[in-house]
Chain A
Amino acid sequence: MAASASPAVDLSAALVLTPPPLGDWLVVLPVVLMIGTGALLMMVRKSVRLHGAIAIAALVMLVVLDAALLWRVSLHGPVTMVMGRWLPPYGIAFTADLFGAAMALAAAIAALAAGLFSLADIDAAGRRYGFYPFLMLLMAGVSGAFLTGDIFNLYVWFEVLLISSFGLLILGSEPRQIEGALKYALLNLIATTLFLIAVGILYAIFGTLNMADIATKARLAPPDAPLTTLTALFVLAFAMKAAAFPVNFWLPASYHTPRIVVSALFGGLLTKVGIYALIRVTIMLLPVEREALSFVIAVSAALTMLLGALGALAQMDTRRLIGYVVIAGIGNMMAGVAVGTPAAVGGAVLYALHSVITMTALYLMAGEAARIGGSWSLASLGGLYRRSPGFAAISFLLMLAAAGLPPLSGLWPKVALLKAALDIGAWWLAAAILVSAFLLTLALARVFLLAYWRPQPTPAVEQPCPTDWRITLPLAGLAVVTLVFGVFPEPVLRLSQAAADSLADPQAYINSVFPGGRVP
Chain B
Amino acid sequence: MNTLILRTVAPALTALMLLFSVFVLLRGHNEPGGGFIGGLIAASALAIYGIAFGVGAVRRALRFHPMAIAGAGLFLATLSGLLSILFGVPFMTGLWVYPRILGLEVPLATVISFDLGVYLVVLGSIVSIALALEQDSETEIPDAEVAQAPPLEQVPLRGKRRRRDRQPRETR
Q: Nearest chain B CB to A109's CB is how many angstroms away?
A: 24
Q: How many whole Å from B5's CB to the nearest CB in chain A?
A: 37
- A38 vs B72: C-alpha distance in the bound complex, in angstroms? 10
How far does the Cβ of A79 sit from chain B's closest Cβ, in whole Å?
12
In chain B, residues 48-88, which have Cβ atoms closer than 8 Å to a Cβ of chain A? 65, 67-68, 70-75, 78-79, 81-82, 85, 88
Within 8 Å CB of B71, what residues of A? 38-43, 45, 133
Nearest residue in B to A20 (C-beta to C-beta)? Answer: B90
In residues 32-46 of chain A, which contact B (Cβ within 8 Å)? 32, 35-36, 38-46
Judge whether A478 is part of the interface by a CB distance below 8 angstroms.
Answer: no
- Bound together, the chains give a CA A85 to CA B91 distance in angstroms of 8
Q: Would A32 and B74 count as touching, CB distance under 8 A?
A: no
Cα of A450 to Cα of B47 in the assembled complex, Å:
56
Contact at B90–A39, with CB atoms within 8 Å?
no
**B169 closest partner in A (C-beta):** A46
Task: Say whether B74 contacts A39, CB under 8 Å.
Answer: yes
Q: Could you tell me the distance between the alpha carbons of A46 and B71 in the complex, rounded to whole angstroms? A: 13
Assembled-state Cα–Cα distance A39/B71 (Å): 4
Chain A binding surface SS class: helix
A82 contacts the other chain (CB 8 A) = yes
Shortest B136–chain A CB gap in Å is 15
Q: Taking A35-B74, A45-B65 as contacts, is the C-beta distance between A84 and B90 under 8 angstroms?
A: yes
B159 to chain A, nearest CB (A): 16
Decide if B170 touches A39 in the complex (CB within 8 Å). Answer: no
Question: Which chain B residues border A19 with CB–CB below 8 Å?
Answer: 88-89
List B contacts of A16 (CB < 8 A). 89-90
Given contacts A25-B85, A133-B71, contact A32 B94 (CB under 8 A): no
Q: What residue in chain B is nearest A137 (Cβ atoms)?
A: B74
* Closest chain A residue, CB of each to CB of B82: A32
Q: Return chain A residues, CB-CB under 8 Å to B90.
A: 16, 20, 24, 81-85
Chain A positions 82-105 with a Cβ under 8 Å from a chain B Cβ: 82-85, 94
Whether B68 lies near A32 (C-beta < 8 A) is no
A39 to B88, CA, bound (A): 25
Chain A residues with CB under 8 Å of B79's CB are 36
- Whether the Cβ atoms of B78 and A42 lie closer than 8 Å is no
Instruction: Give chain B residues whose Cβ lies under 8 Å from the Cβ of A40.
Output: 71, 75
Bound Cα distance A44, B71 (Å): 9
Q: Could you tell me the distance between the alpha carbons of A35 and B117 in the complex, rounded to whole angstroms?
A: 13
Give the docked Cα–Cα distance between A35 and B74 (Å): 8
Nearest Cβ on chain B to A157's Cβ, whole angstroms? 15
Which of A22, A28, A42 has the most chain B CB atoms closer than 10 A to its own CB? A42
| Chain A residue with Cβ nearest B78 | A36
Q: What's the nearest-Cβ distance from chain B to residue A237, in Å?
A: 27
B91 pairs with A43, CB closer than 8 A:
no
Q: Which residues of B contact A84 (CB under 8 A)?
A: 90-94
With A35-B78, A84-B93, A84-B94 in contact, is A20–B72 under 8 Å at CB? no
Q: How far is the CB of B83 from chain A (nearest CB, A)?
A: 11
Cα A81 to Cα B70 in complex, Å, equals 27
With both beta carbons as reference points, the residue of chain B lying nearest to A19 in the complex is identified as: B88
Do B68 and A43 have beta carbons less than 8 Å apart? yes
CB < 8 Å neighbour of A43 from B75, B81, B82, B88: B75
B89 and A39 contact, CB distance less than 8 A: no
A39:B91 contact, CB within 8 angstroms: no
Which residues from B are CB-within-8-Å of A28? 91
Q: Given contacts A20-B90, A84-B93, A85-B90, is CB(A42)–CB(B85) below 8 Å?
A: no
Residues of A within 8 A of B74 (CB): 35-36, 38-39, 42
A307–chain B nearest beta-carbon distance, Å: 39
Q: How far is the CB of B162 from chain A (nearest CB, A)?
A: 14
Nearest CB of B to A170, in Å: 14
**5 pairs, A vs B, C-beta closer than 8 Å:** A19-B88, A19-B89, A20-B90, A36-B82, A39-B74
Given A36-B75, A38-B74, 7 other A-B residues pairs in contact with their CB atoms under 8 A = A19-B89, A39-B74, A42-B67, A43-B68, A43-B72, A84-B92, A133-B71
- Give me the interface of A with B, judged by CB distance under 8 Å: 16, 19-20, 22, 24-25, 28, 32, 35-36, 38-46, 81-85, 94, 130, 133
